[in-house]
A and B are shown apart, each in its own frame.
Chain A
């Protein structure tokens, strides 16, 4: 593992950030595996079993998505899964309860769009997450800047890691700004596009990870690990991400597609086995 030791400094993201950092630094093999699932897809009971298969299959962090009416950053697979879950009546509370059940066994970060955080008010919403044992928060339509300020402060106040994203289009000086704002890990988006499986993109990985880590030597840098996501679907992709220098790989659409199979638990377990073998475990 390439993640620097974080002892001796107080982490701004509190207990949540500490737990995520530990999951990255203590991950077996070459890098941490962050496994995304759509909460309540294909149904609540099956999604509980899928979460269990993630933990048993070697997920170091579970990224738990809330189905949302207008998921702008998501490609067709995750969008469709969210629509199925919404139609089945899954609500925010159901997903928070899933996280509560899961969090004793694995650090859980919530992936949600901004309106679900802002609607009840960020402090109220985030306190509920913290009380349920969540460790972090990813909000793809809340870019670093004045939009994210209040939510970041509210995360810090309750000990949740606010995990921002950088994209291939992000300028170098802005990458530095986002990296310095990151708690837990920095989410590096591997492609210019929405979530979803793609063909080989290994040639892009190196540049994306290099840019995400470029400011690593700055004074005051917190040695934040970099997780690479969007389009990583196989063990081979995972190995390429590691070779590019990623501290973690984030897998979403491939696992969500497996969750829609006839035997979701077996399909998910097979995908997890492929991914961990790519991570040298």
Chain B
């Protein structure tokens, strides 16, 4: 295996082992060169750094807590810390990258940004950042995802972004990304493409990782403050892999810290319906500008992924993860749809935190896979689950029938109280000290 190659002048990775590269139309090569040069300059530029750090602190709400999840810990008999990226503005880690890239765009003199989105989290984060920084914004979204994620479509529109429906293929994230790249090919001179995950052509995998490593850097600092020691392992879910690579980066040089990425097992790896490009051992191929493991048929046509969570429903994966797998530095596992759905409910009830369905894959893994050698670990709680409510409850009902929300044998909606005709007429609510439970 060849070692990671660096672009000669600036030291930003173009390849991770054999993975990565810039498999894009010639039209985009100058823009990738320009972005690579801009990032190598800006990441050490004090004005840029202080503006970004100020926004992350005062606008996004960093640093996010590292929370010892006591009831989860008690349930498994080891300490589980949650890195609370769900408490960021817009509700997920996506804003770390979107805001950073929009600020880079502004420093590069670009007036317009475009993005792709699946569940809408990256789209909302980009729309939010564009509103804040006064940039024009277009977000590409498959019409199937628009149907499933109506509230996020409305959020983006409210924020002043144009949502561009994508009709091709399965009308989900893969097609939205392809269409965003086609837009960029035509508008590259005044437009920056804000890719949402640590994939795509170089320098994006390295750039997105650099912007997300705030997760891992903070978590490392916090765990040393709180526990006085490093964790035995760190765990995160992986679609393209941006929250995972952000967390892992903080611990990359700590050899005693194991790193575990949890992919979407969908209906199971044998079913062919999953989003587990790393765990399933598929061949590498080119998707959206980089070479990395990707779900494909025997001719090399890219296949659609499947996951209950839209954010993991992607046939490829970031190239650095592929290299971390090959070198053995990180391990990758897959968790099925139904297990993620149950972990969604379980963590809500154990900790009073409704996690994103994406995150629920990682949470199932720490709650239910035995880990006798682990005394303490950190899980990236990458996002909150409000966006998934309808879809997750529907999925749980399909799995378990109408009683899926019963808790300790009790119904989750109590019997109505008796009517109070007088109160109803006056609109005053219950009288005589009665409470509604």
Assuming A147-B21, A165-B26, is B287 touching A70 (CB within 8 A)? yes
Contact flags B15-41 to A (C-beta < 8 A → 1, else 0) = 000000111111111110000000000
Q: Using A70-B174, A147-B22, A171-B30 as known contacts, say yes or no to A119 and B296 having CB atoms under 8 A apart.
A: yes
CB contacts (< 8 Å) of B178 on chain A: these are 70-72
Q: Which of A114, A143, A166, A192 contacts B185 (CB 8 A)?
A: A192
Sample of 18 further A-B pairs with CB below 8 A, known A70-B302, A74-B182: A69-B301, A72-B181, A91-B299, A115-B287, A118-B285, A119-B300, A143-B29, A144-B26, A147-B21, A166-B26, A167-B27, A167-B29, A169-B28, A169-B29, A170-B29, A189-B27, A192-B185, A193-B185
- A168 to B30, alpha carbons, bound, how many Å? 10
Set of chain A residues within 8 Å of B23, measured between Cβ atoms: 114, 141-143, 147
Which residues of chain B come closer than 8 Å to A113, judged between CB atoms? Answer: 286
Interchain CB contact under 8 A, A192 and B25: no
Q: Which residue of A70, A118, A141, A146 is within 8 Å of B24 (Cβ)?
A: A141
Partner of A143 from the list B26, B189, B301 (CB cut-off 8 Å) is: B26
In the assembled complex, the CB of A130 is this many whole angstroms from the nearest CB of chain B, namely: 19
Min C-beta distance of B285 to chain A, whole Å: 5
Q: Does B137 contact A (CB under 8 A)?
A: no
Contacts of B330 in A (CB 8 A): none
Q: Does A128 contact B (CB under 8 A)?
A: no
Asked if residues A83 and B168 are in contact (CB atoms below 8 Å), the reply is yes
User: Chain B: which residue is nearest A142 at the CB level?
Assistant: B23
With contacts A115-B287, A169-B30, A192-B186 taken as known, whether A69 is within 8 angstroms of B302 at the C-beta atoms is yes
Given contacts A70-B178, A73-B25, contact A114 B31 (CB under 8 A): no
Chain A count of residues within 8 A CB distance of the other chain: 43
Residues of A contacting B186 in the complex (Cβ-Cβ under 8 angstroms): 192-194
Q: How far is the CB of A105 from chain B (nearest CB, A)?
A: 27
Q: Are A86 and B168 in contact (CB under 8 A)?
A: no
Decide if B327 is an interface residue (CB 8 Å cutoff).
no
- Answer yes or no: A42 CB below 8 A from chain B CBs: no
Contacts of A140 in B (CB 8 A): 25-26
Task: Indicate if A120 sits at the interface (CB-CB under 8 A).
Answer: yes
Contacts of A91 in B (CB 8 A): 299
Does A13 make an interface contact (CB < 8 A)?
Answer: no
Shortest Cβ distance from A119 into B: residue? B300
Distance from A114 Cβ to chain B, minimum over Cβ atoms (Å): 5
| Pair A189/B26 contact, Cβ less than 8 Å | yes
Task: Please indicate which of the listed interface residues B169, B186, B301, B302 has the most CB atoms of chain A within 10 Å of its own CB.
Answer: B301
Q: How far is B286's CA from A179's CA once the two chains are assembled, in angstroms?
A: 25
Determine the distance from Cα of A259 to Cα of B174 in the docked complex, in whole angstroms.
Answer: 28
Complex: A69 Cα to B30 Cα, angstroms: 26
Which residue in chain A gives the minimum CB-CB distance to B301? A69
Cβ-neighbour of A167 out of B26, B285, B289 (below 8 A):
B26
With A70-B174, A86-B301, A118-B286 as contacts: A192 and B24 at CB distance below 8 Å? no
Looking at the assembled complex, report how far the CB atom of A77 sits from the nearest CB atom of chain B, in whole angstroms. 12
> Bound state CA distance, A92 and B300, in angstroms?
9
Select one of A115, A167, A171 contacting B25, CB under 8 A.
A167
Q: How far is the CB of B204 from chain A (nearest CB, A)?
A: 14
CB distance from B64 to the nearest CB of A (A): 35
Q: Which residues of B contact A170 (CB under 8 A)?
A: 26-27, 29-30
Does B412 make an interface contact (CB < 8 A)?
A: no
Check A75–B26 contact: CB distance below 8 A: no
Query: Do A120 and B25 touch (CB < 8 A)?
Result: no
Contact A115-B286, Cβ < 8 Å, known A86-B301, A193-B185: yes
Tell whether, in the assembled complex, residue B189 and residue A141 are in contact, meaning their CB atoms are under 8 Å apart.
no
Over the window 20-59 of chain A, the binary record of Cβ atoms lying under 8 Å from chain B Cβ atoms (1 yes, 0 no) is 0000000000000000000000000000000000000000
What is the count of residue pairs linking A and B with beta-carbon distances less than 8 angstroms? 115
Tell me if B57 counts as interface (CB < 8 A to partner A). no
C-alpha gap A193/B28 in the complex (Å): 10
Taking the complex as formed, is B188 at the interface, i.e. its CB lies under 8 A from any CB of chain A? Answer: yes
Answer whether residue A174 sits at the interface, using C-beta atoms and an 8 A cutoff: yes
A46 to nearest B CB, angstroms? Answer: 22
In the complex, what residue of chain B is closest to A148 when comparing beta carbons?
A: B23
**Which residues on the B side are within 8 Å of A194 (C-beta)?**
182, 185-186
Q: Which 8 A-B pairs have the closest CB atoms?
A: A119-B300, A193-B186, A167-B27, A115-B286, A69-B301, A69-B302, A116-B300, A73-B25
Give 8 CB contacts A-B under 8 Å: A72-B178, A115-B294, A116-B299, A118-B286, A142-B23, A147-B21, A174-B29, A193-B186
> A86's closest neighbor in chain B, by CB?
B301
Closest beta carbon of chain A to B294's beta carbon, Å? 8
Q: Is the CB–CB distance between B189 and A119 below 8 Å?
A: no
- Report whether A143 and B300 are in contact in the complex, using a CB–CB cutoff of 8 Å: no
The reply to whether A192 and B182 contact each other, CB–CB distance below 8 Å, is: no
Chain B nearest CB from A24 CB (Å) reads 21
CB nearest neighbor in A for B299: A92
Q: Which residues of the partner chain B approach A72 to less than 8 Å between Cβ atoms?
A: 24-25, 178, 181-182, 185, 288-289
Are B287 and A169 touching (Cβ within 8 A)? no
A141 contacts B27, CB within 8 Å? no
Q: Is A68 an interface residue (CB 8 A)?
A: yes
Q: Are A145 and B22 in contact (CB under 8 A)?
A: yes
A95: min CB distance to chain B, Å: 10
Q: Is B70 an interface residue (CB 8 A)?
A: no
Q: Which of B25, B31, B285, B299 contacts A165 (CB 8 A)?
A: B25
Q: Is B154 an interface residue (CB 8 A)?
A: no
Verify if A239 is at the interface (C-beta below 8 Å from B).
Answer: no
List chain B residues, Cβ under 8 A from A213.
Answer: none
Interface of chain A residues 110 through 160 with chain B (CB within 8 A): 113-116, 118-120, 140-147
* A79 part of interface (Cβ distance < 8 Å): yes
Interface flags, A167-185, vs B, CB<8A=1, else 0: 1111100100010000000
A86-97 to B contact mask, C-beta < 8 Å, 1/0 = 100001100000
B189 to A192, Cβ gap below 8 A? yes
Q: Which of A86, A92, A114 has the most CB of B within 10 A?
A: A114
A208 → chain B closest CB, angstroms: 12
